[in-house]
A and B are shown apart, each in its own frame.
Chain A
Amino acid sequence: MGDEKVVLLDFWPSPFGMRVRTALAVKGIKYEYKEEDLSNKSDLLLKMNPIHKKIPVLIHNGKPICESLIQVQYIDEIWPHKSPLLPTDPYQRAIAKFWADFVEKKIYDLGKKVWTTKGEEQEAAKKEFIACLKLLEGELGNKDYFGGENLGYVDVVLVPFYSWFYAYEKCGNFSIERECPKLIAWAKRCMEKDSVSKSLPDQQKIYGFVLHLRKVVGLSKILCLQHISRHC
């Protein structure tokens, strides 16, 4: 598909944005990356996502697509021949979409609770977070990737959170690898691929971002911040 113009409006620590970066990289699609300042959103962002005013926004030939799961599915449909992310069998597709939905419902919010709360609330969040990761390990089973022998839809949807794991661990004072070794092995396997490692920021950089937020804003206000807004 020749002369396609693809633009991604994004914010570097956003795991939702990372999903789209990864999907585009897996497919080898060239695109223009535009970093948004979420405290001063561009006219383009406000025009392309008037309902939520949030990143990431994928713009394909001038037309916006919003919501990261929808963006990844769209990318998979427009460029189906290289590295298909969703299976062709309808039942397998439904399974993949179910687990992507599970990640969407659980991982971001629980992870956020882990790094923004303390005491009992944090302990409860850690417990539930690990329980969800273990369910994902169950789904992974003995496969190399959720997609089987290659990266698939669920891999692309979940792996961005790996860049946040170090921050969760430091804030929560726990080791995700100790609790979920299979999942960490999976994440490291994904990171061996350029399409993933070049799409995710370094874990230390994410932790630095978290520390900065905690210092500048104060823990109690973080929950209100748009910077880490979950809608995309």
Chain B
Amino acid sequence: MAVVKLFGTWFSPYAYRVIWALKLKGISYEYIEEDIRSKSPLLLQYNPIHKKVPVLVHDGKPICESTVILQYIDEIWPQNPLLPADPYDRAVALFWIKFADDKVYLMSKLYQADGEEQRAAVKEWLEMLEVMEEHVLIGGKKFFSGDEINMVDIAFSFVAHWLGVLEDVVGLEIFEPHKFPRVSSWIQNFKSIPLIKENLPDADKMSAFSKHGREMMLASKSN
């Protein structure tokens, strides 16, 4: 019987993408927690190029990069598909997944910024949220592709949960629900799904962890 292992870290949105994908498909797996400040030899062996989590190991074979992992999972276990069957619809979904992937850096950008840089980072966040509101969540759908979540929702999940933690850490409200009603509905729908609700990193724990790290980082910046 093939064994599935997942290397992740408790706060990583990328690791959670894989957790949700595996659970959506009903796949059992062994989870291995990595300390990113002290990576295990096994992780470095499985992902020598990027040395990062998540890494999925299926039957001894490693797959790296969360979007590649999710597509692999979708091909091996086709139940509860993560991508549309039609090639054009799939290309559109992959476009939005890439868009989301290219914006995750805004998390660390805002986290590390102060002063003018912070204002610039907030502006970029708002631009991204506007694109979600005006271009992605049109048509009154519950989720990005319809009534069920798929890889596009999973890709934007950092907005649904991690953004709230970031706002708490930097002490700013970036996402005002009344300004982004469609995004707001989507977040509520997404976090109401039992599989998602029951599998989210603790926000308070993340907040405390990140606040401490940020204080240290900003202090060393000003020294």
Measuring CB to CB, which residues of chain A are less than 8 angstroms from any residue of chain B? 50-51, 60, 63, 65-67, 69-71, 73-74, 77-78, 90-91, 93-94, 97-98, 101-102, 135, 231
Contact = CB atoms under 8 A, between A and B. Distances in A.
A110 to B, nearest CB: 15
Nearest to B92: A65
Which of B49, B76, B102 neighbours the largest number of chain A CB atoms within 10 Å of its CB? B49
Contacts of A71: 91
B182 to A, nearest CB: 16
A74 B91 contact: yes
A66 B68 contact: no
A101 B68 contact: yes
B75 A65 contact: no
B53 interface: no
A67 B88 CA distance: 13
Given A51-B131, A74-B87, A135-B49, A90 B72 contact: yes
B162 interface: no
Given A90-B76, A102-B49, A97 B91 contact: no
Closest 10 CB pairs of A and B: A90-B75, A94-B72, A77-B87, A74-B91, A97-B68, A65-B91, A94-B63, A70-B94, A98-B68, A70-B91
Nearest to B93: A70
Given A90-B76, A93-B72, A65 B88 contact: yes
B99 A91 contact: no
B102 to A, nearest CB: 8
Contacts of A90: 72, 75-76
B135 A50 contact: yes
B98 interface: yes
B124 interface: no
B63 A91 contact: yes
Interface string B50-69: 00000000100101110111
A87 to B, nearest CB: 11
14 contacts: A51-B131, A65-B92, A65-B95, A70-B94, A71-B91, A74-B88, A74-B91, A90-B72, A93-B72, A94-B68, A98-B63, A101-B68, A102-B49, A135-B49
Contacts of B65: 97-98, 101
B184 interface: no
A51 B99 contact: yes
Contacts of A231: 102
A98 B64 contact: yes
Contacts of B112: none
Given A97-B71, A102-B49, A67 B94 contact: yes
B162 to A, nearest CB: 21
B88 A63 contact: yes
Interface string B77-98: 0000000000110111011001
A91 B90 CA distance: 20
Contacts of B87: 74, 77-78
A51 B135 CA distance: 8
